[in-house]
């Protein structure tokens, strides 16, 4: 720790403390257990199988978005992942909850939502574009 400009800062701002790592690990395990509980409740309450499949795929994509082995956010397709989740998975779960199955009408609704999700992700990535370049991440907006 050092004093800089009247503020106390860590020597390496990218380095996380052990307690921060423990909290993040505990939260990830807790979120995984909650997701398993939601999936079990969904199956036992008679929800359609598509609901369970979309929920599992969206959860895996959300995990792989920032998890160290894959880190889709650093591979240049993080924006597409955000577009998929905000444009297809979230509206898809709502559509399945109401209708009980996918039909061609859903595609008419999902395409504009997916485009909205892509624009949303690009705007958020462009706000931090210079910092992201310094970190060495590949993003779709810099390609």
Max mean pLDDT range (22-26, 42-46, 111-115): 111-115
| pTM above threshold 0.85 | no
**Alpha-carbon span 2 to 107, nearest angstrom:** 55
Give strand pairing partners of 100: none
Structure confidence by residue, pLDDT tens digits, 19-28:
565 656 666 7
Average pLDDT over residues 100-122: 88
Average pLDDT over residues 107-130: 86
């Amino acid at each position: 720790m050092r004093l800089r400009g009247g503020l106390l800062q860590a020597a390496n701002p990218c380095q996380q403390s052990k307690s921060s790592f423990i909290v993040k690990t505990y939260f990830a395990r807790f979120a995984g257990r909650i997701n398993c509980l939601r999936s079990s409740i969904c199956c036992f309450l008679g929800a359609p199988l598509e609901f369970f499949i979309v929920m599992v795929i969206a959860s895996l994509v959300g995990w792989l978005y920032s998890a160290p082995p894959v880190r889709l956010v650093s591979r240049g397709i993080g924006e597409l992942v955000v577009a998929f989740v905000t444009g297809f998975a979230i509206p898809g779960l709502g559509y399945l909850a109401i209708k009980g199955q996918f039909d061609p009408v859903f595609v008419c609704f999902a395409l504009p939502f997916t485009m909205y999700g892509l624009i949303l992700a690009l705007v958020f990535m462009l706000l931090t574009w210079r910092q992201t370049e310094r970190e060495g991440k590949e993003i779709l907006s810099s390609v």
